[in-house]
Structure 1
Amino acid sequence: MAKSYSPAFVSLFLLALSSCQSLEQISIDYLQAADLSFPPQLRKVAIVNNTSNAPDNKLITQSDKIKENSPIVSRATAYVNGDTKVATEALAEEIAHQNYFDEVVICDSALRANDKLPRESILSQEEVRKLASDLEVDLIIALENLQLKATKTIRYLDEFNCFQGAVDVKAYPTVRIYLPERSRPMNTLHPNDSIFWEEFGASAVEATTHMIPDKKMLQEAAEFAGTIPVKYIVPMWKKGTRYLYTGGSVPMRDAAVYVRENSWDDAYELWRQAFEGTKSEKKKMRAALNIAVYYEMKDSLSQAQEWAEKAQQLAKKIEKKNVSENMHATINDVPNYYLTSLYLAELKERNSQLAKLKMQMSRFNDDF
């Protein structure tokens, strides 16, 4: 039976591993391709609110039945329409922040404000052409619906002898992309994501009192909802975490000093010497992983993947007694193999998206 691990669990594992194996954590920023690709000539975009005026929403909650002896004191769920004006403004601001289009124009007034009943309706080609002409843009991105699911929970945390009040809101925006020359939307996005707040108290009443007020929660949830579709529309910078082996020999420790001084080429020379100058598979594995990170920092992803594969194969040999084909081994059994495998998987994903990213960034003459 295969085992899977949450990102939080893996992060805790890697932090624990770093404390006992001379691992150093560094951050890396890299550009991630969007799901959608636009021709380079589409340079001006309008973000519009294609909804009716938002109704007077009130959170009407439905309380869940709580099992006896459960640490959960109360839990209630509510569905509500989000504030599309706020979400549209957040969507426009976040897209503008990415500096992908030359100009981002916003029309946050509800286009269907005169509707008698709230409805979701696509823009006609005539409407798109008129909007594009009036706003002097090449492309229309329309927020067309926003649903929120809010779950409020009060639970007793036995290990801390206190009560936790938590609000988890899942946001479901609907966004459509329009081009003036097309009779139908170019694409429809239905992404979703969650935002979370928590407070604590000595009693359930105190925890409840400290929880985020509904009005503020709905405001922040709508702002958050507007940012959700952005990664599907434009390339975005992503912050990643990488791990370097820093112990085991003088060259490895000296290389770590070079990394802290941002002298990556000097560090690489020491890692290469360490890899070539030892017969120890463990030392080779550590140097190989570090060299893989070096090449990634230099944007040489194919070479980074090649060295990460070497590191993974060496880790598999080192921990061969515990690495099995059916993945029964746990992280504790094969820490080096899991570390190298996780990194290799990230590099493969980056490599698989590279051609798409280059196409999307061609408007900048690949200057990214």
Structure 2
Amino acid sequence: MKNTIFIALILLAGILTSCGSVKYFGIETFTPAEITFPETVETVVIVNNAVPQPKKPGYKYTIMGVEQDTTHMVADSALYDACKALGEAIADQPFFKDVRLYNDAVRQDEFFFQDTKLTPDQVETICDESGAEAIISLDRLLFNMEKDVFPFGEVMAGTIKVQATAVLRAYMPGRNNSMATIYLTDSLFWSEGASNLRTLDSYLPKPEVALRETAAYLTSGAYRNFVPHWEQAQRWYYTNSGTRWKQASAFAAKEKWEEALTIWQSIYEAQTNKKSKAEAAANIAVGYEMVGKFNEALDWAKKSLALFKEQTSDEKDSNVALLTLYEQVITSRIQANNKLNMQFGKE
């Protein structure tokens, strides 16, 4: 939903910019993790609790329409790479004091398709051995790989597609169940061409390499679920040909938001034209957001939206739609800020 809001903001801002009335810009917002660990958790350990997928299931290799039956893939190293990539991505964020990698695979059974949680006793043992207060565990990792080789004009073409799904969980000692469960799914695709099969085979990654790269790619982005992080977003402000509007825009372009706010507020107070007043109110909302005053930003976004609605009965009006979306964004930022305070122990 959050991504949908930001995309819609970009599209609407683009429409208004074409009329020369809006300037939009990129920002970074600090976003809370999906999972909130207690303040006492300073060290986490990444654990491999998955069973490697056997060599045959999930691998299909076709040469010119004929399926090959002598091929196999090895997934053992991919499990390690998945855990390592996740641990490195989490460690890159300045949140936990230490992120460790548990060296031993936990499960010894052969039920690779089964999603099995760590038991409370296992959680206690792993935390004692690793010195961690919490566990992030890879509880299942499955692959489906398709390799296809076929003639394409005067060359041989080859493609590899690897689809991967994973289950991650967070655990803490003293709890009968996991803190949260994260489901991941993604894929990687390779395509090459060569004059003969041998050369083509050297261009395409080996099955094990393709699995390892896909596993690392899949889990490396999952850090967002476990640590606060920065995300890209889009914002905008209205412009006008008036001298004071231009002055405010110049300050905003240099990220001097306090100075821009002062001018936009004076414009708002002096305006009798409702449209200009609504635009000034919207700019004030954005200005307050940029200086971290989210509640004030929400108040001014509501004022702007109300003024725009007074001028039209069309709910699809671009200004009404833009401010409606922005009100949702600011509301989400207030909620996110409260969650961030919890995650950093400020409440």
Task: Give the shorter-chain TM-score range.
Answer: 0.7 to 0.9
Match of 2:33 in 1: 34
Size of the aligned set, in residue pairs, is 313
In structure 2, relative to structure 1, the CA distance for the partners of 1:41 and 1:264 (3 Å cut) is same
Correspondence 1:75-224 to 2 at 5 A: 83-107=78-102, 109-112=104-107, 114-118=108-112, 119-148=114-143, 171-182=164-175, 184-194=176-186, 215=207, 218-224=211-217
| SS, match of residue 60 in structure 1 | strand
In structure 2, relative to structure 1, the CA distance for the partners of 1:21 and 1:61 (3 Å cut) is farther
Deviations 1:33-61 (A, max 9, x none): 22322221111110111122343365328
Match of 1:76 in 2: none
Distance, in Å, in 2 between the alignment partners of 1:166 and 1:342 is 41
Q: TM-score, normalised by structure 2?
A: 0.78
In structure 2, relative to structure 1, the CA distance for the partners of 1:196 and 1:288 (3 Å cut) is farther
1:227, CA displacement in angstroms?
A: 3.2
Distance, in Å, in 2 between the alignment partners of 1:180 and 1:291 is 48
Distance, in Å, in 2 between the alignment partners of 1:126 and 1:200 is 49
Q: 1:23 and 2:19 equivalent?
A: no
Distance, in Å, in 2 between the alignment partners of 1:139 and 1:21 is 52
In structure 2, relative to structure 1, the CA distance for the partners of 1:13 and 1:301 (3 Å cut) is closer
Deviations 1:162-214 (A, max 9, x none): xxx999876532112222223x333241333545769899xxxxxx99x9868
| SS, match of residue 141 in structure 1 | strand
Distance, in Å, in 1 between the alignment partners of 2:159 and 2:276 is 46
Correspondence 1:327-342 to 2 at 5 A: 329=316, 334-342=317-325
1:149, CA displacement in angstroms?
A: 6.1
| RMSD of Structure 2 on Structure 1 (CA) | 3.4
1:289, CA displacement in angstroms?
A: 1.1
Distance, in Å, in 2 between the alignment partners of 1:168 and 1:110 is 27
1:317, CA displacement in angstroms?
A: 2.0
Contact 2:31–2:231 (Cα < 8 Å) also in 1: yes
Q: 1:305 and 2:298 equivalent?
A: yes
Q: 1:361 and 2:319 equivalent?
A: no
Contact 2:146–2:162 (Cα < 8 Å) also in 1: yes
In structure 2, relative to structure 1, the CA distance for the partners of 1:276 and 1:358 (3 Å cut) is same
Contact 2:59–2:146 (Cα < 8 Å) also in 1: no
1:225, CA displacement in angstroms?
A: 1.9
Deviations 1:261-316 (A, max 9, x none): 22211111111111111111111111111111111111111000001111111222
| SS, match of residue 18 in structure 2 | helix
| SS, match of residue 30 in structure 1 | strand
Distance, in Å, in 2 between the alignment partners of 1:8 and 1:151 is 33
In structure 2, relative to structure 1, the CA distance for the partners of 1:348 and 1:143 (3 Å cut) is same
Q: Which runs of 5+ in 2 are unaligned?
A: 63-73, 149-157, 194-199
Q: 1:46 and 2:39 equivalent?
A: no
Contact 2:83–2:219 (Cα < 8 Å) also in 1: yes
| SS, match of residue 311 in structure 1 | helix
Contact 1:53–1:110 (Cα < 8 Å) also in 2: no
1:344, CA displacement in angstroms?
A: 0.9
Correspondence 1:174-323 to 2 at 5 A: 174-182=167-175, 184-194=176-186, 215=207, 218-318=211-311, 320-323=312-315
Percentage of matched positions with identical amino acids: 27
Contact 1:47–1:108 (Cα < 8 Å) also in 2: no
Contact 1:92–1:104 (Cα < 8 Å) also in 2: yes
| SS, match of residue 336 in structure 1 | helix
Kindly provide the amino acid, as one letter, of the partner of residue 122 in structure 2.
E
In structure 2, relative to structure 1, the CA distance for the partners of 1:247 and 1:198 (3 Å cut) is farther
Distance, in Å, in 1 between the alignment partners of 2:48 and 2:326 is 41
| SS, match of residue 183 in structure 2 | coil
Match of 2:10 in 1: 11
Distance, in Å, in 2 between the alignment partners of 1:23 and 1:98 is 34
1:23, CA displacement in angstroms?
A: 1.5
Match of 1:59 in 2: 59
Distance, in Å, in 2 between the alignment partners of 1:306 and 1:38 is 32
Contact 1:51–1:144 (Cα < 8 Å) also in 2: yes
Distance, in Å, in 1 between the alignment partners of 2:8 and 2:144 is 26
Distance, in Å, in 2 between the alignment partners of 1:243 and 1:288 is 13
Deviations 1:88-111 (A, max 9, x none): 112111211222111100125532
